Amino acid sequence: MGPWWLVGLMAAGLTACSEPAGGTTPDASPPGDTSSTDTGFDAAEAVDVGAEVQQADTGVSEPIPCLTATPTNAQFGGKLCFNTATLDLTLTACGPTTVTGLELTRSPEALDQEASDEFGIVPPAGGPMWTLATGEALTLQLSYSPDGNNARDTDGKPVMDTAGLAVSAEGVSGPLLVVPFSGFGVGEACPVAVIQIDVPGPYTVGEPIALDGTQSRILSCLPTGAAAYEWFVTAPAGASAVFDDTAAAKPTLTTDSPGMYQVRLRIFDDFNVQSCQDAEVLLEVVAR
């Protein structure tokens, strides 16, 4: 049994070096140094017992905001250019958390730069703030619309488009969580034939009609032309038409009678893979 005043302090619930709520033990400090742990108790009111300092533990701790993300790294992979791919991202509270902001950045390492227009976000309903109890989740939608084929590195792998989703929370300075995501643009699964005509019809009999196949694409998001071209024409009954060169990128077509002429273009890539389907146009030809 210690002195009566120490017994009285213990009966009142005051403990030495008490563990704060949250399960962590404060760093040890030299006797009399209260700079590293602030329990809210005035050091001047501490009771000196030999060389030790007894401090009051208030027992009150603010909840720490906590979030986890699923997936932790949102990878879109290769997506067709000029098409929009979406991906659901779920944020789950591992502690009471009020989400105050969702911001897209250029990358997880460049939080001060805005993301490119290729990436987008559809926030959940009920914003712009969402209060989550422990275990509650928030689901949002990320989008990716590549606007071109990505370059390849020295190993032949695509150079990724990257972005980061910075999640802000009440009571936290800076982002509470940053979720990285990435993707790269790819072309079509097979060559795409495109016919372009600069001068619209109708055309007169015998007039050379200029055709252009250079807007065709070979596994690319942008016009590249083709390795080989093959042009076809179907004339109306009793009529005929002829190309100056059926293998040219920009041939001309001449007709001999009025009517509707169907022109088709088929292209091939460097590996002799042909277009998924022929491009087609109808040309109206009238008498002189």
Q: In what order do the strands lie in the sheet with 209-210?
A: 209-210, 252-255, 241-243
Give the amino acid at 243.
F
Question: Three-state DSSP class for 4?
Answer: helix
**Block mean pLDDT (10 aa), the chain, length 288:** 40 34 43 43 37 42 88 89 91 96 81 78 90 96 88 81 93 92 81 91 95 85 80 96 97 97 93 88 95
Distance of alpha carbon 63 from alpha carbon 39, whole angstroms: 15
Closest CA to 246 of 261, 233, 227, 237: 233
* 235 within 8 A of 255, measured Cβ to Cβ: yes
Confidence (pLDDT) at 285? 97
Q: All domains of the chain, ordered by start, with CATH? A: 1-60 (no CATH), 66-186 (2.60.40.10), 203-286 (2.60.40.10)
